[in-house]
Amino acid sequence: MTPEELVKFTGITRPEVVSQAETALSVAESIVDAYTRGRHVDASGEFRTGVEGVVTTVAARILSNPEQVSYREQAGPYSLYREAGYQGLSLTEQLILDRYRKRGI
């Protein structure tokens, strides 16, 4: 996925969102690489089955709140609360990546 595709996927519009998307994709792939201990790609350098989806969802959560700080805004009776975007791999993401993870004995 390219940064432009990630921006389109999330629908986020703000200044410098493409450069933030590029960083989010890089961080997401690093997280996946660390979790799978480098086995997230095959011999040709392509993502294994399901891995690109995990990278995309992790990057989308990172991009949704790049400060990674939860905050609350209120105007009269209306309020908006935003959690930190990335708080670890979801159970579904872990199940996908566990197929490629090296485990110790």
Q: Give the lowest-confidence range in 27-31, 50-54, 76-80, 85-89.
A: 85-89
Question: Looking at the domain assignment, is residue 70 inside a domain?
Answer: yes
**Paired strand residues for 75:** 78
- Tens digits of per-residue pLDDT, 47-83? 999 999 999 999 999 998 877 777 788 898 998 887 7
Q: Where in the sequence is the domain holding 78, given as residue range(s)? A: 3-98
Spatial CB neighbours of 101, under 8 Å, sequence gap ≥ 6: 35, 36, 37, 39
Question: Looking at the domain assignment, is residue 103 inside a domain?
Answer: no
Per the structure, the count of domains in the chain is 1
Question: Looking at the domain assignment, is residue 104 inside a domain?
Answer: no
